[in-house]
Amino acid sequence: MPVEECFTQVHHFKWDSSVLERLLEVAETKKDYSFHKEYNKMYRAIARTDWKINIENKEYLVEKLNNFSYIDYKDYPNWDKLRSLIINI
């Protein structure tokens, strides 16, 4: 299906207290099916920034939610930009 017609969000990282352990575990598998390179890249990026993620970094496209009771897909203004970045990887 063309991405212009239907674009599915895929989140590889579960952001909870175990994220660093899981990132490292998958990064060390070195199996193509595991996306180990992507996990290794994320783990190294977090390590370089003293185990923190700077949400002020404009490259990360972090936005404040308009409604804190739920996440509304339409609240995020950068879907087109993000989709373009993803399909060009």
For 24-33, the pLDDT digits (tens) are 999 999 988 8
* 83 inside domain: yes
Residue 62 lies in a domain: yes
Q: How many domains does the chain have?
A: 1
The predicted pLDDT at position 68 comes to 67
In a domain, 57, yes or no: yes
Residue 23 domain-assigned (yes or no): yes
Indicate if the pLDDT at residue 14 is higher than 80.
no
Q: Is residue 26 classed exposed, middle or buried when 0-12, 13-18 and 19+ CB atoms within 10 A define those classes? A: buried
Q: Establish if 7 belongs to a structural domain.
A: no
Q: What is the mean pLDDT of residues 42-49?
A: 93
41 assigned to some structural domain = yes
For residue 74, pLDDT beyond 80: no
pLDDT of amino acid 5: 76
The tokens of 79 are what? 């879907």
Domain contains 80: yes
Q: How much is the pTM?
A: 0.63
In a domain, 64, yes or no: yes
Owning domain of residue 48: 19-87
